[in-house]
Amino acid sequence: MIVGVPKEIKEEENRVAITPAGVSAFVSHGHGVLVEKGAGLGSGILDRSYEGAGATALDSAAEVWQQANLIMKVKEPQLVEFQFLRSGLVLFTYLHLAASEEVTRILQEKKVTAVAYETIQLEDGSLPLLTPMSEVAGRLALQVGAWCLQAENGGRGILLGGASGVRPGKVVILGAGTSGSIACQVAAGMGAYVSILDINPSKLRYLHDIMGGHVTTLMSNRANIEEEVVDADLAIGAVLIPGAKAPKLISRSIVKRMKPGAAFVDVSIDQGGCAETSRPTAHHHPIYIEEEVVHYCVTNMPAIVPNTSTYALTNATLSYGLEIADKGFPKAFKENAALARGLNTYDGKITHTGVATAFGLALTPLKEVIGR
């Protein structure tokens, strides 16, 4: 198969869908790899590194799209890329189709075989191609939260780890899943007082076991949330109810009672945010102050560390990309149920329940298209 990797063109997107190690893997499996020149620059990867691994660097996106039969990307196709979509092309990328009727319709109309990173799902319900970005966002939550607390950003001027003879800052984390538990470990590592809340006792038990006395685990309920958040120097929202909007756990009245200059990083903003005062921001202007609290609500946090994010993402996507290239359609999907759940559109049909429901479109059961 010929695998094509165009440069990402969505605003503020500097990740790329393949690394030189990924190129070597495809080449060693007998596939060709075409990379648009400059595609890796935003992630610190030079064309010559791709070429050294066996890829061919092409001048334009058009050449890559037209010559490849499997396109690997990071973000959904943008308007100027619609012209390259065609019947039989396999597109493997984050799609988030339920949020875009326009992209759904064009993939349907052009009969693209579209496989979404975010709907690939293992038997236990986990989403292996979303987890790496949650990990990155969880670690970043402390980095950006500490920055929000700096005086020049309107913060309380608190150093989370404190100093000899000086109390450390208090970090409160809502949600002990992938992002929240990593944020918890980083916060404890920085020397802050940390408390973490979740509705799932086994998540709390796990953190209690691995972190010992370094963090306080608490059941998430209204009373505990209020008591902890009003006392926080830095609060972090990292909750998720799969397939639903984030619950508004922090009311405006709680935010009003927080300390002036406290910081709030809402990682769950991509699902609507978990505070009444949350509204989405972008990297060029990531913070705003409301009720005297510095809010950071960027919906695509991993984009500020494209180098790390590219490697974390491609570590997770590569084996699926290889399976598609090695076995083709429908064999790869027939033999790997997790990959099959990633199929969103095929030959003009919608094959994912969430996407069909979002726009009232007809759903074609997976087994009808892959024969399984």
Q: Which is nearer to ligand NAD, 120 or 267 (by Cβ)?
A: 267
Specify the 3-state DSSP secondary structure of 233.
coil
One-letter amino acid of 89:
L
Least separation, in Å, of the C-beta of 247 and ligand NAD?
A: 5
Site for ligand NAD (CB under 6 A): which residue of 177, 191, 328, 330? 177
Q: Which is nearer to ligand NAD, 300 or 345 (by Cβ)?
A: 300
> Would you tell me how many other CB atoms lie within 10 Å of the CB of residue 334?
16
**185 is a site residue for ligand NAD (CB under 6 A):** no
List, in sequence order, every residue forming a beta bridge with 265; answer none if it has no partner.
236, 296
**240 is a site residue for ligand NAD (CB under 6 A):** yes
List, in sequence order, every residue forming a beta bridge with 32; answer none if it has no partner.
2
DSSP letter assigned to residue 113: E
Answer whether 303's CB lies under 8 Å from 287's CB. Answer: no
Cα-Cα end-to-end distance for the chain: 23
**197 is a site residue for ligand NAD (CB under 6 A):** yes
Interface segment toward ligand NAD; rule CB under 6 A; list 41-49, 57-65, 80-88, 191-199: 191-199
Return the active site residues.
96, 270
CA atoms within 13 A on the CB side of 302: 23
**95 is a site residue for ligand NAD (CB under 6 A):** no
DSSP letter assigned to residue 215: E
Footprint of ligand NAD on 292-321 (CB under 6 A):
298-302
> Would you tell me how many other CB atoms lie within 10 Å of the CB of residue 86?
12
**261 is a site residue for ligand NAD (CB under 6 A):** no
Site for ligand NAD (CB under 6 A): which residue of 14, 43, 113, 178? 178
**129 is a site residue for ligand NAD (CB under 6 A):** no
The secondary element (H helix, E strand) that includes residue 280 is none
Burial 244-275 (b: 16+ CB within 10 A, else e): eebbebbbeebbeebeebbbbbbbbbbbebbb
Least separation, in Å, of the C-beta of 238 and ligand NAD?
A: 5
Least separation, in Å, of the C-beta of 348 and ligand NAD?
A: 29
**249 is a site residue for ligand NAD (CB under 6 A):** yes
Looking up tokens 């049909």 gives: 349
Least separation, in Å, of the C-beta of 174 and ligand NAD?
A: 5
**272 is a site residue for ligand NAD (CB under 6 A):** no
Site for ligand NAD (CB under 6 A): which residue of 20, 154, 155, 175? 175
Site for ligand NAD (CB under 6 A): which residue of 69, 104, 108, 271? 271
Residue 202 CA to its chain's centroid (Å)? 24
Site for ligand NAD (CB under 6 A): which residue of 64, 172, 215, 238? 238
Total interface residues for ligand NAD by CB under 6 A: 33
Least separation, in Å, of the C-beta of 74 and ligand NAD?
A: 13
Tokens of 112: 């693209």
Phi, psi of 210 (to 5 degrees): -80, -25
> Would you tell me how many other CB atoms lie within 10 Å of the CB of residue 47?
17
**268 is a site residue for ligand NAD (CB under 6 A):** yes
**267 is a site residue for ligand NAD (CB under 6 A):** yes
Closest CA to 185 of 163, 162, 206, 200: 206
Least separation, in Å, of the C-beta of 364 and ligand NAD?
A: 27
**241 is a site residue for ligand NAD (CB under 6 A):** yes
Interface segment toward ligand NAD; rule CB under 6 A; list 112-120, 154-162, 176-184, 256-264: 176-184
Q: How far is CA 26 from CA 4, 16, 330, in A?
A: 11, 16, 19
The secondary element (H helix, E strand) that includes residue 58 is strand 56-58
DSSP letter assigned to residue 314: H
Q: Which is nearer to ligand NAD, 34 or 297 (by Cβ)?
A: 297
Least separation, in Å, of the C-beta of 154 and ligand NAD?
A: 21
Answer whether 4's CB lies under 8 Å from 67's CB. Answer: yes
Answer whether 197's CB lies under 8 Å from 172's CB. Answer: yes
Answer whether 72's CB lies under 8 Å from 52's CB. Answer: no
Least separation, in Å, of the C-beta of 272 and ligand NAD?
A: 9
Q: Which residues form the interface with ligand NAD (CB under 6 A)?
A: 133-134, 137, 174-180, 197-200, 203, 220, 238-241, 246-247, 249, 267-271, 298-302
